[in-house]
């Protein structure tokens, strides 16, 4: 209604300029509109009132309508309208905006870090799996994990009452591993079957050292990305008549920053370490590994058997660690192509259970006494000496950044013994074992 009245008042003022003078003094109200439409005489004009400005005013309250007795009504304090402290707000805003703009132009550009080779390999395995077309590093990783499961399952059947403890671990730079260990079991005092995957960067000194055996490595770079994968196994039986056995097969490659392989090689082997020598056990073990070698090259077994006898030698004792097996390292494109060597390693891994399980099954329940146990502990002391002083795998593992020491030292026996100036009795079984360890034998 107020809006309608306002419009009519404006219209009335405009029309009144064209009417007779006596009508111009009237104040047009909404009720007079019928005059302009009909031409009839308007109602009696009201007394002239000055026009009021067309602005909004606060509605009057009861206090406004009733002034206080005895005097004029006090003025009401008017509320201020508008922004509080506008100049302070403007000043702060200018400073903040200026700081943001300044930082945009002066701060270094933060780029999103590109995924590492390990990250890209993880995505590839998740999205596409591992096939024959996958990089060799992924195929080797898949192989050793498969064989780890097979070996642990077979060993668990020998002693169902003592479960393997399985630990899965990861490395900050990429990779990780799975450690399966059994301790104080009925068959094995300590048994460990580990897989390890390592991504890292080789410094300049390591590159120069590796170029001695691998000319494909670029000599002009200060660092190189590398990948290493391996399956390591050591079984220390409870019974002194049952031999300790060791196995390790591994793959190593160097890569460009984009993950392209520029040098690669395979290594590994397996060997038997008895406390008491049974010729038939040594013959069976060597024959199993020889059959695997002969599938690929008849020169492999004699060549790698001799390499094993030389590698697992303890110079300060002038004796071998055990009765040997095979050992090889740095087999690359100069030996055979990558697929042929991968197939060779796969067959060697496959020969382990047939070569060792019949031996442990035959010896694990044989009777023994304190003398045999003492001799076993002395021979395990020799095992510790070799591993900590001469073994390159142990040294490499302990010197790798973020190394998992528990997995590396898994190869050590749970117990060992050192006796001052101990000598084996003449003509004893202990003396015969020592004589073979000082002079390697051709078993097959």
Q: Which helix (H) or strand (E) holds 313?
A: strand 313-314
d(CA 216, CA 184): 47
Contact criterion met (CB below 8 Å) for 223 and 233: no
User: What b-and-e string marks burial along 392-409, b requiring 16 or more CB atoms within 10 Å of the CB?
Assistant: ebbebbeebeeebeebbe
d(CA 41, CA 21): 15
d(CA 121, CA 418): 47
| Burial class (CB within 10 angstroms; exposed 0-12, middle 13-18, buried 19+) of 173 | middle
Contact criterion met (CB below 8 Å) for 260 and 235: no
Vertex 53, ends 48 and 57: CA angle to 5°? 115
**Annotation marks residue 390 as catalytic:** no
φ, ψ of residue 430 to 5 degrees: the values are -65, -40
d(CA 79, CA 77): 6
Nearest to 221 by CA among 235, 203, 237, 236: 203
- Where are the strands (E) in 89-222, listed by range? 165-170, 175-183, 188-203
Among the listed residues 32, 34, 162, 246, the single catalytic one is: 246
d(CA 64, CA 59): 9
C-alpha distance across the termini of the chain, in Å: 119
Nearest to 151 by CA among 40, 287, 266, 247: 247
Nearest to 362 by CA among 284, 436, 288, 289: 284
Catalytic residues: 246
């Amino acid at each position: 209604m107020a809006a309608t009245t306002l419009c009519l008042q404006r219209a009335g003022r405009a029309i009144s300029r064209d009417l007779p003078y006596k009508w111009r003094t009237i104040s047009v109200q909404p009720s007079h509109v019928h005059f302009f439409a009909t031409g009839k005489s308007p109602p009696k004009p009201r007394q002239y009132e000055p026009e009021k400005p067309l602005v909004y005013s606060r509605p009057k309250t009861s206090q406004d309508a009733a002034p206080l007795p005895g005097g004029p009504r006090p003025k009401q304090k008017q509320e201020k309208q508008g922004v509080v402290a506008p100049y302070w707000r403007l000043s702060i805003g200018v400073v903040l905006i200026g700081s943001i703009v300044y930082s945009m132009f002066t701060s270094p550009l933060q780029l999103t870090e590109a995924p590492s080779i390990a990250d890209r390999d993880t995505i590839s395995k998740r999205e596409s799996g591992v096939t024959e077309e996958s990089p060799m590093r992924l195929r080797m990783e898949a192989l050793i994990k498969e064989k780890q499961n097979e070996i642990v399952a077979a060993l668990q059947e020998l002693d169902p009452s003592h479960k393997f403890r399985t630990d899965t671990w990861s490395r900050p730079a990429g990779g990780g591993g799975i450690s399966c260990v059994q301790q104080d079991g009925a068959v094995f005092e300590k048994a460990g079957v580990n897989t390890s995957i390592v991504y890292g960067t080789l410094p300049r000194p390591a590159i120069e050292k590796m170029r001695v055996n691998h000319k494909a490595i670029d000599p002009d770079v200060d660092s190189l990305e590398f990948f290493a994968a391996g399956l390591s196994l050591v079984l220390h039986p409870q019974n002194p008549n049952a031999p300790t056995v060791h196995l390790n097969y591994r793959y190593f490659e160097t890569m460009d920053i984009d993950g392209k392989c520029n040098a690669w090689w395979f290594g590994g082997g397996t060997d038997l370490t008895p406390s008491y020598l049974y010729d038939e056990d040594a013959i069976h073990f060597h024959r199993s590994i020889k059959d695997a070698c002969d599938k690929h090259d008849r020169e492999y077994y004699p060549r790698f058997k001799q390499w094993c006898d030389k590698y697992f030698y303890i110079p300060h004792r002038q004796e071998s660690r055990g009765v040997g097996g095979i050992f090889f390292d740095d087999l690359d494109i100069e030996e055979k192509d990558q697929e042929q060597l991968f197939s060779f390693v796969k067959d060697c891994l496959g020969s382990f259970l047939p070569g060792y399980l019949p031996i442990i099954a035959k010896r694990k329940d044989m009777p023994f006494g304190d003398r045999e146990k003492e001799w076993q502990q002395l021979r395990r002391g020799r095992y510790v000496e070799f591993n900590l002083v001469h073994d390159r795998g142990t040294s490499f593992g302990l010197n790798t950044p973020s190394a998992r020491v528990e997995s590396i030292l898994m190869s050590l026996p749970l117990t060992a013994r050192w006796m001052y100036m101990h000598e084996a009795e003449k003509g004893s079984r202990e003396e015969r074992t020592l004589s073979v360890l000082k002079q390697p034998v051709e078993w097959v």
